[in-house]
Structure 1
């Protein structure tokens, strides 16, 4: 692995339309006047198809806001956010709901499983609501990939935390979305269960061609990604390819030192 550059560089604006998602000059502002907060400040970034990208930064850096704006969960104040060729700011509420249902998968720190449904029913729930039948061959492959074949009839209370998050991963994968957004997906898991879930996400990219964008504060979790982008004060300030935990930690320490001395 090459030595990390001494001076962080700002990633360039999206260069082609083949990305699963991209932002160009994306800004998000909350409040007005004295209460005005700039959560994102003209961020441009591209998330390539079939790639695993981690978003990192200190608390308040804007990483979750970026994910929420890119996933259509929050509005943008300026700039552009696209899923494939679809510009999110041009969609109404009903169109956004359909986009999130049909093209986006979500994995959150809280597993968000319905306790009265078994694992299989939780996995297929979004498609059931949409009135769509799952592709059985794809569903079987997803279930096998995340190692749930023997647990499909169990309810969440009968599963460990790691197994519950595997169900959430399978649910996100089951509809074959264009992109999966994961917000601190291992935050409620022990290190072993977290490693298993991250391994399944990595496998979904490598074996199933999935696109994953994950917000995390954990250098070890980030090392499962193909690429890490770093935010600070609402701006994209650096990126790192083929990360190792040591590289990520070193980069984060450097940003922290710069912040204290600036």
Structure 2
């Protein structure tokens, strides 16, 4: 299913136009997203930040086709995600999207190599040999390919998950708190790999994080509050991200005090 995109979103790796997500009804109704529009540039690393309940994970899940939307349009490349059938969504996620989660989500009975190649095997596809070698060397796992997850450190397991997300050359990779379960050194290794995949290989990464240091690896940071985009920062540093978060927290506290 394809459709002409607006000037704002044409050429974007992923985009949302006037996106609303409502949970529940009546007094229990929650407006998780309220009219969000954003275009995530191809070949760029975008971080999405915001306080708990701001809608950042909901936005990522809607962009990735993991959650339905109440109103608005989501697209990945030139494919309109909104309204796709279950079969269409499955094909989209299989062929055009990579996922990296906080919990690694590796199968314990498979080796690192088997875990990396699993999505391609399910899709009946073979990896491009040159690209596979590039991914394996970039994540630095060549000597760990025959090891099972229980034989790997947390950082190594997450690098396996990163390689699995990238080996199919997806249109966009969505990473949900990818360093949340890692120590600072392992987290830095994973972030450096994601940064390198963008800089050297043109991959598109969209990462939800609460960590200002993790966000500093991105090209752009989008800030959400109360289900809306309220700010953004280009070429961020950790200090600049922290400063912006403090300003948003102060604004939220002031608004709450006046209600």
Same fold (TM over 0.5): yes
| Partner in structure 2 of residue 152 of structure 1 | 145
**Residue 179, structure 1, aligned to residue 164, structure 2:** no
CA contact (8 A) 1:14 1:45 kept: no
CA contact (8 A) 2:99 2:173 kept: yes
- Whole-Å separation in 1 of the counterparts to 2:18 and 2:7: 10
Return 5+ residue gaps in structure 1 as ranges: 1-12
Aligned counterparts, 1:227-242, within 5 A: 227-242=220-235
Please, what TM-score do these two structures have when normalized by structure 2? 0.95
Residues 14, 232 of structure 1: alpha-carbon distance in 2 compared, 3 angstrom cutoff: farther
Please, what TM-score do these two structures have when normalized by structure 1? 0.94
- Give the 3-state SS of the residue equivalent to 2:13 in structure 1: strand
1:161 aligned to 117, 139, 154, which one? 154
1:257 aligned to 229, 250, 254, which one? 250
> Which segments of structure 1 move beyond 6 Å, counting only runs of 4 or more?
none
Aligned counterparts, 1:96-175, within 5 A: 96-175=89-168
**Residue 219, structure 1, aligned to residue 223, structure 2:** no
CA contact (8 A) 1:156 1:164 kept: yes
| Partner in structure 2 of residue 72 of structure 1 | 65
Return 5+ residue gaps in structure 2 as ranges: 1-5
CA displacement, residues 207-231 of structure 1 (integer Å, 9 cap, x when unaligned): 1110000000000000000000000
1:88 aligned to 66, 70, 81, which one? 81
1:90 CA displacement: 2.4
Residues 23, 58 of structure 1: alpha-carbon distance in 2 compared, 3 angstrom cutoff: same
**Residue 188, structure 1, aligned to residue 198, structure 2:** no
- Give the 3-state SS of the residue equivalent to 2:37 in structure 1: strand
CA contact (8 A) 1:14 1:44 kept: no
- Whole-Å separation in 2 of the counterparts to 1:131 and 1:14: 36
- Whole-Å separation in 1 of the counterparts to 2:103 and 2:152: 14
Alpha-carbon RMSD = 0.9
CA contact (8 A) 1:39 1:65 kept: yes
| Partner in structure 2 of residue 9 of structure 1 | none
Bigger mean CA deviation after superposition, 83-92 or 215-224: 83-92
CA contact (8 A) 1:39 1:61 kept: yes
CA contact (8 A) 2:9 2:15 kept: no
Aligned residues: 250
